[in-house]
Amino acid sequence: MELIKPDINIDFVGMRFKAIVMSLVLIAAGLVSLAWHGGLNLGVDFAGGTLVQVRFQQATNADQIRTALSDMGLGNAAIQQVGSGADSEYIVRTDVSLTEQKSFGNLVEQQLGKTYGEGKAQVRRVEMVGPKVGKDLREKALLAIYYSLLFIAIYISGRFELKWGVSAIMAGALLVCVYLLSLMGMPISYLIVGALAITFGLCWLLKLPYALAAVIALVHDVLITVGAFSLLGKEFTLEIVAALLTIVGYSLNDTIIVFDRIRENLRKERRQAQSVVINQSINQTLSRTLLTSGTTLIVVLCLFVLGGSVIHDFAFALLIGIVVGTYSSIFVASPILILYEDMARARGARSATAKGARAA
């Protein structure tokens, strides 16, 4: 199936600076929102506490629910509507960790029955997580995302640049750095940021442009997806971490397709400028990229619309991630190869000039 003519020639490379500005604006908006809200709206999985999801048979609002539960000491609980407005389904979250889920759910139903009538409020699920468990889950989630990016960098450097030995050295150095940073008692979020900075630095020093471009594109996708959750105030749970890891894998698949064609064309057309070859490669793979992303997007859109409240946020994360991942494969990962080559050439020119000056 051919969606786009094979001789199409869109100047994607020429639009790279506009794309970089747009990406920076989206990432900055997400980071500002995170700072403004004091972080993500963490679910019970990460924050600890008790979550109750209740469906009402009549229209209500958060204030009425809070008043109905005030006698249970849950008057300060965070209450959020889920699903469509017609569903009258709400999540009640409190930082109090309890032990008996079933009995607590029955107590909530009884308390709400006093206000809404017997059987008019049905508890659909109850989740309870202790604060220590929540902290451990936060740390493991961040480490899972980081190590996925690390091993992707190792794979890309070996697969496209045939530098398995160099990639093994980079992996060992990064694991040692992460271990030393953890011994210093550094908070896990700062540790991950530091480890990513070291990853970028090593990719540059060891001359691994494909790995550098792929990791930057994946970090770009994760930051924009997380920023969207912060901007919309959506709950960040373990399911969203699973969605982020899925996005990383999906985006990498698109990036590898483009990189593979770039590598083939660079071997065949050695006299062409690199920017011309990269733009040609993006155009050649555009039809496959759009077909793959489009069909996946249709499935995820169906999950988002018809999947119900339980899977709603997971599908939302995938929607954002697929769109951003497809965009980053074209406008972020590939142009970084050009930027790396330009900077390497400028560095070589400065080095040659310095040697000439010393010789003179």
Q: How many CA atoms lie within 13 A of 238 on its CB side?
A: 14
pLDDT tens digits for range 277-325? 888 888 888 888 888 888 889 999 998 888 776 788 889 999 999 999 9
Q: For the residues 20-29, what does the mean pLDDT come to?
A: 92
Delineate the domains of the chain, giving CATH numbers in brackets: 13-41+133-350 (1.20.1640.10), 49-128 (3.30.70.3400)
**How much is the pLDDT for 349?**
62
Highest mean pLDDT among 35-39, 186-190, 349-353: 35-39
**How much is the pLDDT for 224?**
93
Sign of CA dihedral 231, 237, 243, 247: positive
Task: Please give the angle made by the CA atoms of 11, 16 and 20, to the nearest 5 degrees.
Answer: 155
Has residue 130 got a pLDDT over 90?
no
Specify the 3-state DSSP secondary structure of 82.
strand
Query: Distances from the Cα of 295 to the Cαs of 4, 301, 302, 317, in angstroms?
Result: 15, 10, 11, 17
pLDDT range class, residue 32, cuts 50, 70, 90: very high
**How much is the pLDDT for 319?**
92
**How much is the pLDDT for 56?**
84
Q: For the residues 1-16, what does the mean pLDDT come to?
A: 74
> What percent of the residues of the chain are helix, what percent strand, and what percent coil, each to the nearest 5?
75, 10, 15
Q: How far apart are CA 9 and CA 270, in angstroms?
A: 20
Task: Please give the angle made by the CA atoms of 133, 137 and 141, to the nearest 5 degrees.
Answer: 175
DSSP 332: I
pLDDT range class, residue 252, cuts 50, 70, 90: confident
What is the amino acid identity at position 269? E
User: What is the pTM for the complete model shown?
Assistant: 0.79
Q: What are phi and psi of 275, to 5 degrees?
A: -65, -35
pLDDT range class, residue 29, cuts 50, 70, 90: very high
For the ranges 34-48, 99-113, 151-165, 341-355, which has the lowest average pLDDT?
341-355
**C-beta atoms surrounding 74 within 10 Å:** 20
For the ranges 155-164, 197-206, 228-237, 286-295, which has the lowest average pLDDT?
155-164
The closest of 278, 279, 142 to 209, measured between CA atoms, is 278
Tokens encoding 219: 């970090």
**Whole-number mean pLDDT of the chain?**
80
Residue, of 10 and 309, whose pLDDT is higher: 10
Tokens encoding 131: 């604060």
Has residue 55 got a pLDDT over 60?
yes
For the ranges 12-21, 99-108, 141-150, 305-314, which has the lowest average pLDDT?
99-108
pLDDT range class, residue 3, cuts 50, 70, 90: low
The closest of 233, 209, 213, 211 to 221, measured between CA atoms, is 213
**How much is the pLDDT for 83?**
67
Q: How far apart are CA 287 and CA 278, in angstroms?
A: 16
Specify the 3-state DSSP secondary structure of 99.
coil
- Report yes or no: 49 and 94 within 8 Å, Cβ to Cβ: yes
Q: For the residues 241-257, what does the mean pLDDT come to?
A: 86
For the ranges 10-14, 96-100, 299-303, which has the lowest average pLDDT?
96-100
Start-to-end Cα distance in the chain = 62
Has residue 45 got a pLDDT over 80?
no
DSSP 236: E
